Structure 1
Amino acid sequence: MTKPLALVAGAGAGLGQSLLARFEQGGFTPVGLGRTAPLNPVGEFHTLDLADEAAVPAKIADIIGTHGVPQIVVHNTAELVIAPFADTSLDDFSRTWTSMVQTAFLLGQATLPQMAKANGGSFIVSGATASLRGGAKFAAFASAKFALRGLTQSLAREYQPQGVHVCHAILDGIIDTDRSRDLHSLDPAKMMKPEDIAEAYWQLAHQPQSTWTHELDLRPASEGF
């Protein structure tokens, strides 16, 4: 029997790989997409510029031709720019939008109509604290995360009646990775474990239709809000 497909866009080391590992554990065929392949990737990995309007639909069509229409799709790309507004270049500002909003647009167009025609499924978008409030020096990042949240709401209202569960997950905290430990002097006990986030996404993807969540916020117990 063919295993259902779980597709993760932004499947780098950390959360992306933890998501693929959880989906594989649950009986899915895990396929990751991203600019750079991590060491020893889980499942199948395709190196891809997720903002390329020609390459994305072509690659996803090829993957669907091999594995079938995905039952789980996760948009997990990020481009963090932290700078005073006066020092934020137009290139930096545009790059955050391209990396997070344009990629979600292309991923949605390549998968959602197909999922609606098939047996539905789940389309989950990773948000952040900046999805809800903009902080000083986060003008580029927060504006793109706000837009991503709005895009996800619109997709939910269009595709949920067609059987596709569209969710926005606000990750309100620092994800525990080797890179984040190098950048932040935080107690790892106060950081978000990628495998725990992956478990929450798994549960989102398996909610019964009578109790679908559109937006879920996740944070460490020590995080203020």
Structure 2
Amino acid sequence: MSIARETHASNRPKAVVIGVGPEQGLGAGLSRRFAAEGRHVVIAGRTEAKIERVRESIVEAGGSASTVVMDVTNEADVIRLFDVAMRADERGGSADLIAYNAGNNQPLDLRTMEADVFESFWRLNCFGGFLVGREAARRFVPLGRGSILFSGATGALRGLPNFAHFASSKAGLRMLAQSMAREFGPLGLHVAHVVIDGGIDGERVHTRFTEHVQQKGPDGLLDIDAIADAFWSLHRQHRSAWTHELDLRPFKEAF
């Protein structure tokens, strides 16, 4: 993907992607897409080596990016991230686009699940979204503008066997986004929740759920770049016709 260049970086708002992992993942794809639009992208994730590789790939393509190693469930880390993102500097102005992509998923038997395991899924899939959403609202409301986009999942709509921990946490994130949209939309903030209804054609699915990949066959998974296009389209919507919830799935996926 080619990267757009802009002469006056100080006039360019930053974009922040939270929950970036491997190069072949949605967080990386969102980072590349926003960089392709000329944004300086603040890439946030837990693993320094992974987010640094994503940054390098963007810079190699002619874009602008920096990294912040952080734990999205840690309040101090989230505040520190926004301090960086909202500070105008030679790389760009304050951020006006936040994508919350942090999350985890795996099937677990409820009967043998430890309490701290259930809590860990809630903290990453929902509580982290609260911390990011709250901080984004605090910073964006005085500006009267900004997009806060949350990556959702099928589990936010229906709970499947062995996924009670995941479904409850993603449903919580969905309700957080919905409440935020109603509270802050009239103040100029575009809050959207993207239901990703299917497997994403990235490293995680191919390494953890190989049988699922084989079962779905060609075009059975969501293309990362196509998802990223949808996120950018949401950000670019005119405020007279905002989408709050968008569901994405492969054409052959049953729903």
Tell me if both proteins adopt one fold, taking TM over 0.5 as the criterion.
yes
| Alpha-carbon offset, residue 124 of structure 1 | 0.4
SS in 2 for 1:41: helix
| Distance of 1:26 and 1:63 partners within structure 2 | 17
The answer on whether the counterparts of 1:61 and 1:110 sit within 8 Å (CA) in structure 2 is no
113 and 68 in structure 1: CA distance in 2 versus 1, 3 angstrom threshold = farther
- Corresponding residue for residue 184 of structure 1: 210
| Distance of 2:204 and 2:177 partners within structure 1 | 28
Deviations 1:11-34 (A, max 9, x none): 222110110111111111111111
- State, as a whole percentage, how many aligned pairs show the same letter: 36
Mapping of 1:1-225 within 5 angstroms?
1=8, 2=10, 3-13=12-22, 14-37=25-48, 38=50, 40-42=53-55, 43-66=65-88, 67-182=92-207, 183-185=209-211, 186=213, 187-225=217-255
| Distance of 2:143 and 2:30 partners within structure 1 | 23
| Alpha-carbon offset, residue 119 of structure 1 | 4.3
Deviations 1:154-190 (A, max 9, x none): 1001111011100000000000112311223322521
| Distance of 2:29 and 2:84 partners within structure 1 | 24
RMSD: 1.4
Counterpart AA for 1:22: R
SS in 2 for 1:216: strand
| Distance of 1:133 and 1:172 partners within structure 2 | 11
| Alpha-carbon offset, residue 125 of structure 1 | 0.3
Q: Structure 1: any 5+ residue segments left out of the alignment?
A: none
Tell me the TM-score normalised to structure 2 length.
Answer: 0.84
The answer on whether the counterparts of 2:125 and 2:169 sit within 8 Å (CA) in structure 1 is yes
SS in 2 for 1:221: coil
SS in 1 for 2:201: coil
For structure 1, which segment, 108-117 or 193-202, has the greater mean C-alpha deviation from structure 2 after superposition?
108-117
Counterpart AA for 1:218: L
| Alpha-carbon offset, residue 68 of structure 1 | 3.9
For structure 1, which segment, 36-45 or 132-141, has the greater mean C-alpha deviation from structure 2 after superposition?
36-45
Larger Rg: 2
SS in 1 for 2:103: coil
SS in 2 for 1:51: coil
| Distance of 2:120 and 2:224 partners within structure 1 | 25
